[in-house]
Amino acid sequence: MEDNIRHIANAILFDEDKALQGDREVREISVDGDIIHVTIAVESKNSIDDRRAMEDEIRDAIKRWHEDKIVRITSVAMDDVDVPCAHHHADANASGHDLPPKKSIPGVKHVYLVCSAKGGVGKSTVALNTALALSSLGKRVALLDLDLYGPSIPSLVGQDLPPIVVGNLIVPPEIHGMSVLSIGFMIEQDQPLMWRGPMVASVINQLLWEVDWSGNDIMIIDMPPGTGDTYLSILQSVNVDASIIVTTPSELALADVKRGVGVFSPYHVPVAGVVENMATYDWEGRDAVLGLLDNVKADDDTSKKAIERIKRILDTTKAIRIFGARTQALCSKMGLNLITSIPLDIALQNDNDSGTPYMLQPKKAAIREAFETIAKFIIERDKDTDEDEQA
């Protein structure tokens, strides 16, 4: 936990856009039960307002990761101390400060995290179907389930294939044309999954670095809900292209988007965009009613007008926005990109339940297009780096 706190504090302390001047350092971190205490030292030429603003920002950022703790920040004057400062601005690096540098996953060109601070919003559904959409667009795709506490990918793909080991490396099974790996493939089904913090890091290390991931253009990582140990392990150690945040339009889920976004900034991982899930509903009876209305013979003006009116009303039932445009409003406010919106649909739910991924046989254009939009968005985003590599 101290590492994570130090990293967050350093990321803000050494952000070049901030007003602080001169040397600065995180002097002390202590975690005492529910209280996190961080002492930062800055030069006394900084104004009291700048120091307070810095303290507030560090406190808020730490709270995003450790919301159940009380966070106290104290800033002291650096110049009062005789001992020379160990970390000078010039050699400080927010992404690697006091931590080993991040590494790329061998054989994988791009890595995207599908995340949400809130559970059950559709991360695994989005991760799987976006991966399949990418695959159908000709990309070589790896799908890694890092939800160690509740791995869903085995049941969503309808297969439970133990990976094989060749030499020192695990070879992920090929499922629906993708390299797919989940802790669920390696343990007994229904076994309760209780990991201690250090075990999480070691299992994640194994799934990342002891696996033959070679030959993949894009890795989609299905993350667990929250902002816990898995996020810490990944953000500290892996070069990640970006995160994609999934949300439903409920106020609680949207509040978690705000919290979730703050998790990535200390680690310099951009939020590529937001995917809204289960926000619209397409009433299936609409087309049938419209068909019936077409066959009604209306002789008088009043009846004709009434039929036109009913048709107009029915038109608004295509993709009914059950909760209004809350996600769009939040994204605009936070400067986030709303990539697409996936309708609430019983077929998607049924396919998930039966382990036959929706995108293998998409039934509705709106849902297929939504997953393809995410896939195309990722491909477009990666184009610049891919072109640089080819040049």
Ligand X SMILES: Nc1ncnc2c1ncn2[C@@H]1O[C@H](COP(=O)(O)OP(=O)(O)OP(=O)(O)O)[C@@H](O)[C@H]1O
Residues that bind ligand X (CB under 6 A): 116, 119-125, 147, 150, 152, 225, 277-278, 342, 344-345, 348-349, 352
Residue 119, binding choice from ligand X, Mg ion, none, Cβ under 5 to 8 Å by partner class: ligand X
DSSP result, 67-111: TTSEEEEEEEEGGG-SSPPSS-GGG--TTTTTSPPPBPPTTEEEE
Nearer of residues 25 and 222 to Mg ion, judged by Cβ: 222
* Contact status: 152 vs Mg ion (CB under 5 A): yes
Longest pairwise C-alpha distance within the chain: 97
Residue closer to Mg ion by CB (options 36, 146) is 146
Give the N- to C-terminal CA distance of the chain in Å, as an integer: 42
- Asked if 298 and 307 touch (Cβ cutoff 8 Å), the reply is yes
Residue for token pair 């799934």: 207
- The least CB distance from residue 350 to ligand X, in Å, is 8
Under 8 Å between Cβ of 163 and 224: no
Amino acid at the residue 349: Q
Residue 278: contacted member of ligand X, Mg ion, none (CB under 5 to 8 Å, by partner type): ligand X
Contact between 124 and Mg ion by CB under 5 A: the answer reads yes
Burial class (CB in 10 A: 0-12, 13-18, 19+), 168: exposed
- Which of ligand X, Mg ion, none sits in contact with 23, Cβ below 5 to 8 A by type? none
In the complex with ligand X, the residue whose CB is nearer, 38 or 246, is 246
- Angle ∠(259,147,131) on CA atoms, nearest 5: 95
Nearer to ligand X, 223 or 238 (CB): 223
- Can you state the percent helix, strand and coil of the chain, rounding each to 5? 45, 20, 35
Least Å distance between CB 180 and ligand X? 15
Q: Which single residue brings its beta carbon nearest to Mg ion?
A: 124
CB nearer to ligand X: pick between 73 and 271: 271
Binding mask 318-347 for Mg ion (x = CB under 5 A): ------------------------------
Contact stretch for Mg ion (CB under 5 A) within 14-22, 120-128, 324-332, 378-386: 120-128
Q: How far apart are CA 51 and CA 54, in angstroms?
A: 5
Contact stretch for Mg ion (CB under 5 A) within 25-33, 68-76, 147-155, 228-236? 147-155
CB of 123 to Mg ion, least distance (A): 5
- Which of the listed partners (Mg ion, ligand X, none) does 129 bind, with a CB threshold of 5 to 8 Å by partner kind? none
How large is the angle between the packed helices 365-390 and 123-136, nearest 10 degrees?
60
The entry of ligand X, Mg ion, none near residue 177 (CB within 5 to 8 angstroms by kind) is none
Task: Tell me, by CB under 5 A, how many residues bind Mg ion.
Answer: 3
Q: Where are the alpha helices (DSSP H) in 265-364?
A: 285-294, 301-315, 326-334, 346-354
State which of positions 367-386 bind Mg ion (CB under 5 A). Answer: none
DSSP letter at 250? Answer: S
Min dist. Cβ of residue 268 to ligand X (A): 25
Task: Give me Rg for the CA atoms of the chain.
Answer: 25
Distance CA 242, CA 52 (A): 31
Q: Which two tokens stand for residue 223?
A: 């993350």
Q: Which does 46 bind (CB under 5 to 8 A by kind): ligand X, Mg ion, none?
A: none
Nearer to Mg ion, 115 or 232 (CB): 115
The least CB distance from residue 360 to ligand X, in Å, is: 15
Please report, as ranges, the residues that interact with Mg ion according to CB under 5 A. Answer: 123-124, 152
